[in-house]
Amino acid sequence: MSSEKLTKEEAKSRFEKIVSDITRPMTHHYGLNVWIFILLMILSLFGYAYFIQVRDGLGVTGMHDYAAWGMYIANFVFFVASALIGMLISAVLGLSGQKWITPITRIAEMIAVAFAMIAGLVIVFDMGRPDRVLNVFIHGRVQSPIVWDLTVVTTYTLISTLLLVLPLIPDMAIIKKRLTNAPKWQMMIWNMLSLGWIGTPEQYKILHRSIRALLILIVPVALMIHTVTSWLFAMTPRAGWDSTVFGPYFVSGAFVTGVAGVIVAMYFFQKNYKLKDYITDYHFSKMGQLFVLVAMVYMYFNFNEFLVPAYKMKSGDDHHIMTLFVGSWAGLFWFAQIFGNIIPMFLPIFKYFRKPMPLMIIAVLAIAGAWIKRYIIVIPGQLHPFLPVQNVPDSFHVYTPTGPEIAITLGTIGMAITIITILAKIFPVIPIWEVAEEKGIDKETINE
């Protein structure tokens, strides 16, 4: 950023200021207790609801034979979508030489790791026999998209974790020398993750090379996690799912969700962690532009996904399209389309809406729209199968989520936020060494 030559003293004092700015929230806990209390409440509620579900069976949910997949699967798709952001920010933008992403890469990776980790659990909570989860390894069939999904989500979680941990190495070395008053376990983690970093040119070379290799590796894996997740639906012959654009449609939707997630997290950390000097209006403006771009791509696939069958009105599709456009699902459908796609595509074009507050509000609504969109993709199609739904209770014609079901879903979101909270508490949310380097501070000062 700055090319001026700093004196040794200047560099040192600037660097110490960066370190203390970024690490202050790690030692000062503004309102953390309240936050943790809320999270614990959500998690206990989850625990109770899941106990009931295991005891009484999936019958405690609103699911039935004509909506065999409900909120859980919709939530799973949402989680996988949110996890994709790590790859977009770090890999796609990073590899293409975008410098402005430096302060937000770690936030993106934390979101990716948290959501990817919990995504797998969401599937377990959806299982009728969670006690048999190991059957997937014992009897796993390579022909099943679930096995593909399991494989890629695990791989993605692993690479994302590495992409979080590797750039942390120099930061760990910086922190362990300075935050000496931290609890012992925290010191141990920092010491362990610093991996003996002293900042030699050789270490820099290895670090840069391995990060680059992972960034390249994560692109196809990230595309696969959401493509394969879309195949859970597209590989079946059911109306509303039987689509050839589902892969890219899901991936493009995931980018919108992910960008929105990062904007909300940026806003939270900027305000709550007092990082105004690092996460600036410029970064929000850039994210706003990115929002427009990914929403445009998503719009393209939305058109393909809905306009093509709506033009033909094939039997099966006709009913599905009508219920979404003007029928019983129209309210949710148009909410998802307007707030999840149209608004993020148009409003951030104007400078005013790329300011932190307006952009954050647009992002929150986009996340709500994104969640609802997954709900709409998963459920309505099942309620209108090819053959009539007859000789079953009237309640089988609709799907109404129950209390335990909602509690478990909220619980999984609570888990992901808990992971992010913990990560953001024991690790700096902004890469200190990278930001310092960009501000023209020499490697020697950084590693002193």
Rounded to a whole number of angstroms, the distance between the first and last alpha carbons of the chain is: 22
Closest CB to another protein among residues 128, 201: 128
One DSSP character per residue, 87-133 reads: IIIIIIIHHTT-GGGGGGHHHHHHHHHHHHHHHHHHHHHH-S-GGGT
Residue 68: both structure tokens together: 């065999």
For another protein, give the closer residue by CB, 121 or 150: 150
The least CB distance from residue 353 to another protein, in Å, is 39
Whole-angstrom Cα distance, residue 400 to residue 432? 48
CB of 47 to another protein, least distance (A): 19
Distance CA 373, CA 268 (A): 25
At residue 212, what is the residue type? R
**Closer by beta carbon to another protein, 200 or else 236:** 236
Of 3 and 143, which has the nearer Cβ to another protein? 143
Q: In sequence order, which residues have a C-beta less than 8 Å from that of residue 246 and are 6 or more positions away?
A: 230, 231, 233, 234, 305
Instruction: Decide whether 114 or 378 has the Cβ nearer to another protein.
Output: 378
User: Within a 10 A sphere around the Cβ of 320, how many other Cβ atoms?
Assistant: 23
Residues 6+ apart with CB under 8 A from 175: 19, 23, 190, 428, 432
Tell me the closest approach of the beta carbon of residue 350 to another protein, in angstroms: 42
Which of 129/177 has CB closer to another protein?
129
Residue 27 or 328: the one with the smaller Cβ distance to another protein is 328
In the complex, what is the shortest distance from the CB of residue 171 to another protein, in angstroms, rounded to a whole number? 40
Contact positions vs another protein (CB under 8 A): 56-60, 63-66, 68-69, 123, 126-130, 132-133, 135-136, 138-141, 143-147, 150, 232-233, 235-238, 319, 322, 382, 385-393, 396
Least spacing, CB of residue 70 vs another protein, in Å: 10
Minimum Å distance from CB 221 to another protein? 20
Query: Could you give the CA distance from residue 106 to residue 181 in angstroms, rounded to a whole number?
Result: 24
Dihedral angle sign, alpha carbons of residues 372, 373, 378, 381: positive
Give the orientation angle of helix 71-83 with respect to helix 403-426, to 10 degrees. 20
C-beta of 83: minimal distance to another protein in Å?
20
CB nearer to another protein: give 130 or 358.
130
Find the shortest distance in angstroms from Cβ 232 to another protein: 7
**Taking the mean position of all CA atoms in its chain, how far away is CA 4?**
38
The answer to whether 279 and 322 are in contact (CB under 8 A) is no
Amino acid at 190: W
